[in-house]
Chain A
Amino acid sequence: MTKKRTISIILGIMCFALTFGIFVQVRTIKSTDSTISQNQEANDLRDEILRYKERYDNRFKELEEAEKELETQREEATQNDSALKEAQEKITTGNKITGMTEVTGPGVTITLTDGKGIATSTLNPSELIVHDLDVLSVINELINAGAEAISINEQRWVLTTAISCRGNTIDINGERIGAPFTIKAIGLPEYLAGLERIGGYLEYMKQDGVGVNLEKSNNITIPKYSGVINFEYLKNVEE
């Protein structure tokens, strides 16, 4: 009897290990969203990309941790010195303005999706697509309405941000971004919602058949700029 019991326990443990492994593996592969192709070369390339992406994510996490560490160290160092404390506060406000920290506040979320109309039924199919200039115009109007921080698909709009066309995607902060575009802006929601006024750019896009959606919210979080701003030629004028 005892022998049978040990056998059944061991077999149970083995079945547990096997099914556990299979389920974890299936979920992992599902999350990477990779389909197995019959082409060995394509498989290898995809494998490599996924590996590099993972490494990049890990490095990014390390960087974030290091930045947090720097912040705490700074706070500790400036705890007892009022002059240093002032400088520290200056740095935090400066970072908030230049986009080096995550910020939150009231504002609006604008979603721009490519028009669903049939391309041949309109005179100009290009009108149905959200272009880089459309995004740029919307951002211009947002800044005009007093937006204090803007992000496009989680890419923070900073001093050095440029938007350019890259075929069927657009390039923001050196990252390729495709439709639909989610533009988040922090500012007075009533002012920012004024973008929907008749004669505004959003109205114009709607007439073209582009999907436009504007939502007010009291709680919008805009991520920080992940790159580095490096000015080489800028100098203060000495008086």
Chain B
Amino acid sequence: MIFIAILIGCILGAILGLNAPMISYTYSSYLAIAIIAALDSVFGGIASVIKKNFDLKIFVSGFFGNAILAILLTILGQKLNVDIYLAAIVVFVWRMFMNLGAIRRYYVEKWTDMIKNKATKEKKEENKEKVNEKS
């Protein structure tokens, strides 16, 4: 159900995005930072699922809130003539790598555990067979 919804959302977004009118170049920098913020939220969500403290409300509010906040900061930076968006990009990408690291660690540990379990099981069986042969 959830995967179907995600798939439908992605396909609809791609189709509409391909046919939507282009935004002007001035606003494309805002959209870019919003995309980075949203991507960061997605990775954060996956990481929180793995850590088993996923909360939908926090996820959704982070997704839209971070994007809007990033856009507002970029606008403020342009008004003050400071490249605040650089700081936003650094923070978001940093967090993205942290979350990716957490996800990676989880899966690598899972894999190694699985391989170990298999090996121990096989050993046990071998031992059992040996015991059987002896008896």
Segment touching B, from A5-13, A79-87, A104-112, A196-204: A5-13
Contact indicator per residue, chain A 19-56, by CB within 8 Å of chain B (1) or not (0): 11111110111011000000000000000001100100
Segment touching A, from B10-18, B94-102, B114-122, B124-132: B10-18
Q: Kindly state whether residue B5 has any CB partner on chain A within 8 Å.
A: yes
The answer to whether A19 touches B28 (Cβ under 8 A) is: no
CB closest residue in chain A, given B17: A23
Assembly CA distance A28 to B24 (angstroms): 7
Partner of A27, one of B6, B8, B18: B18
Q: Kindly state whether residue A116 has any CB partner on chain B within 8 Å.
A: no
Assembly CA distance A7 to B3 (angstroms): 11
Q: How many positions in chain A have a CB within 8 Å of any CB in the partner chain?
A: 29
Q: Kindly state whether residue A133 has any CB partner on chain B within 8 Å.
A: no
The answer to whether A32 touches B25 (Cβ under 8 A) is: yes
Partner of B1, one of A8, A16, A32: A8
The distance from the CB of A56 to the nearest CB of chain B, in whole angstroms, is: 12
Chain A: interface secondary structure?
helix
Assembly CA distance A20 to B25 (angstroms): 17
Interface residues of A in 188-210 (CB under 8 A from B): none
Q: Kindly state whether residue A4 has any CB partner on chain B within 8 Å.
A: yes
The answer to whether A10 touches B60 (Cβ under 8 A) is: yes
Q: Kindly state whether residue B35 has any CB partner on chain A within 8 Å.
A: yes
The distance from the CB of B129 to the nearest CB of chain A, in whole angstroms, is: 47
Q: Kindly state whether residue B42 has any CB partner on chain A within 8 Å.
A: yes
B18 partner residues in chain A, CB cutoff 8 A: 23, 27
Partner of B31, one of A5, A25, A32: A25
Give the most central of A7, A11, A51: most B CB within 10 Å: A11
The answer to whether A20 touches B23 (Cβ under 8 A) is: no
The answer to whether A21 touches B31 (Cβ under 8 A) is: yes
CB closest residue in chain B, given A10: B60
CB closest residue in chain B, given A44: B83
The answer to whether B17 touches A20 (Cβ under 8 A) is: yes
Assembly CA distance A17 to B56 (angstroms): 17
Binding site for A on B (CB under 8 A): 1-2, 4-6, 8-10, 12-14, 16-18, 20, 22-26, 28, 31-32, 34-35, 38-39, 42, 56, 60, 63
Binding site for B on A (CB under 8 A): 4-5, 7-25, 27-29, 31-32, 50-51, 54
Sample of 8 more A-B contacts, CB < 8 Å, known A12-B8, A19-B17, A20-B14: A12-B9, A14-B42, A18-B13, A18-B35, A19-B14, A22-B13, A23-B17, A54-B24
